[in-house]
Homo-oligomer: A and B are copies of this chain.
Amino acid sequence: MNLAAAKTPGAGDPFFMTTPKQAGFHMPAEWEMHDRCWMAWPSRDDLWPDIAATQQAFADVSRVIRRFEPVTMVAHPAQVENAKQYCGTAVEVVAFDINDSWTRDSGPTFLIDGKGGLAGTAWRFNAWGNKHQPWFDDAKLAERILHHEQASVYRSPLVFEGGALHVDGEGTLLTTETVVFNDNRNPGLSRAEAEREIRHALGVEKIIWLPGDPDEYETNGHVDGIACFARPGVVLYETNPDPDDPHGKVLQENWRALRAAKDAKGRSLELIPIEEASNVVGEGDIFCRSYVNFYIANNGIVAPKYGIPADERTRELLARIFPDREVAQVDISAIAPGGGGIHCITQQQPSVQNLARGI
Question: In whole angstroms, how far apart are the Cα atoms of A125 and B14 in the complex?
Answer: 22
Closest to A150 in B: B6
Which residues from B are CB-within-8-Å of A149?
Answer: 9
- Per the 8 Å Cβ criterion, residues 142-171 of A in contact with B are 143-144, 147-152, 155, 157-158
Which residues from B are CB-within-8-Å of A7?
Answer: 12, 150
**Which of A11, A16, A125, A136 counts the most chain B CB atoms within 10 A?**
A136
Question: In whole angstroms, how far apart are the Cα atoms of A197 and B187 in the complex?
Answer: 24
- Per the 8 Å Cβ criterion, residues 222-269 of A in contact with B are none
Of B13, B124, B187, B193, which is within 8 A of A147 by CB? B13
**Which of A11, A148, A152, A188 counts the most chain B CB atoms within 10 A?**
A188
Question: In whole angstroms, how far apart are the Cα atoms of A186 and B124 in the complex?
Answer: 13
How many residues from A make CB contacts under 8 Å with B? Answer: 51
Distance from A193 Cβ to chain B, minimum over Cβ atoms (Å): 5
Of B2, B6, B8, B136, which is within 8 A of A193 by CB? B136
Closest to A4 in B: B116
> Mask for A85-120, Cβ within 8 A of B = 1, else 0?
000000000001000000000000000000111110
Question: In whole angstroms, how far apart are the Cα atoms of A10 and B153 in the complex?
Answer: 11
**Which of A3, A124, A157, A352 counts the most chain B CB atoms within 10 A?**
A157
Taken together, the copies of this chain in the complex come to: 2
Secondary structure at chain A's binding surface: helix, strand, loop or mixed?
loop
Question: In whole angstroms, how far apart are the Cα atoms of A17 and B74 in the complex?
Answer: 13
Distance from A113 Cβ to chain B, minimum over Cβ atoms (Å): 9
> A26: CB under 8 A from chain B?
no
- The answer to whether A116 touches B13 (Cβ under 8 A) is no
Closest to A14 in B: B1
**Which of A119, A187, A190 counts the most chain B CB atoms within 10 A?**
A187
- The answer to whether A155 touches B134 (Cβ under 8 A) is no
- The answer to whether A3 touches B116 (Cβ under 8 A) is yes
Which residues from B are CB-within-8-Å of A36?
Answer: none
Q: What are 8 pairs between A and B in contact, CB < 8 Å?
A: A1-B152, A3-B118, A7-B150, A9-B147, A12-B12, A17-B96, A130-B186, A136-B197
